[in-house]
Amino acid sequence: MLEYDAMRQGKTLVVGHRGACGYAPENTMPSFRKGIECGADILELDIHVSLDGELVVMHDSEVDRTTDGTGPIEGKTLKEIKALDAGVKFGPQFAGTKVPTLKELLDWAWNKIPLAIEIKGDPFPTPGVEEKLIKLLREFRILSETMVISFHHESMKKIKEIEPSLATGLLIMGELVDPVQVLKASKSDSLRPGWQYWSKDKVDLIHKKGFIASTWNADTEAVMDRIVPMRIASIGSNFPDRLRKYIDRQGKGI
């Protein structure tokens, strides 16, 4: 697992958040291509399930914010989702950009770059999404190059029970009284709070117990100055080129 290698070496991986969503429409192919151009080690993305059971790459449960459409993803067929423009709201130069399916992204990313796939849900993930995801990852034979992350503890536990070899990560916003116990209960390999919630002592504890410390999103040098010295194994950014340059200047790149 890439993050374990980084932890053991005291290095930090650059994670492109929703691709490179500071530069291109989030969770779209232009954003993912930009993420690679920016030097990301891993690309992060989000998935939901369409009305007809397709795994669709989008952050929100509704299409309103990032496309020219309205309504929930779960209420739309893939054909309806593919008719949406996922780029024009970001900028006219991206007009006509489509919402990708996870399969389309995997076809493109295979043998290029590892992925961190976040299972979304409002308020809970679609039943069966874990099985659908693992089936697809097995078909592409990329279990060792992929991690699955989520704010939903039960999803992380289910993923690990179905496919123990798959790396998993627990997203949180806030502090946990006993993070080690929560990681064990959810069968997660990594803890991934917002950067504000890490301290050096907490990072050291998580790594000492055999888990991975990760975080998001470092977009300014002030944030990088605060968290990179903690030896966090991976850090997300909306501008992965900024983080790449900082990490490399510090000699922390893997």
Residue 45 lies in a domain: yes
Residue 224 lies in a domain: yes
What number is the average pLDDT over the span 87-100? 98
**Pairing between β-strand 212-215 and β-strand 190-193 as defined by DSSP bridges:** parallel
CB atoms within 10 A of CB 29: 20
pLDDT band at 244 (very low <50, low <70, confident <90, very high): very high
Residue 27 lies in a domain: yes
- The per-residue pLDDT for range 202-214, each reduced to its tens digit, is 999 999 999 999 9
Mean pLDDT over the full length of the chain: 97
- The per-residue pLDDT for range 36-55, each reduced to its tens digit, is 999 999 999 999 999 999 99
Residue 83 lies in a domain: no
What is the domain range of residue 135?
2-60+100-250
CA–CA distance, 76 with 61 (Å, rounded to integer): 11
Catalytic residue among 48, 59, 153, 207: 59
Residue 199 has pLDDT above 90, yes or no: yes
Residue 244 lies in a domain: yes
Residue 6 has pLDDT above 90, yes or no: yes
pLDDT band at 1 (very low <50, low <70, confident <90, very high): confident
- The per-residue pLDDT for range 7-33, each reduced to its tens digit, is 999 999 999 999 999 999 999 999 999
Residue 22's CATH number: 3.20.20.190
Say how many domains are in the chain: 1
Residue 123 has pLDDT above 80, yes or no: yes
Angle at 51 between CA 188 and CA 109, to 5 degrees: 55
Residue 73 lies in a domain: no
Structure confidence at residue 78 (pLDDT): 98
Catalytic residue among 17, 48, 152, 207: 17
What number is the average pLDDT over the span 176-186? 97
Residue 82 lies in a domain: no
Q: Determine whether 59 is an active site residue.
A: yes
The pTM is what?
0.98
- The per-residue pLDDT for range 67-76, each reduced to its tens digit, is 999 999 999 9
Reading phi first (left if > 0) and then psi (alpha if -120 to 50, else beta), residue 193 is in: beta
What number is the average pLDDT over the span 152-180? 97
pLDDT band at 2 (very low <50, low <70, confident <90, very high): confident
Residue 158 lies in a domain: yes
Angle at 143 between CA 81 and CA 206, to 5 degrees: 105
The torsion angle over the Cα atoms of residues 146, 253, 17 and 114, rounded to 10 degrees, is -20
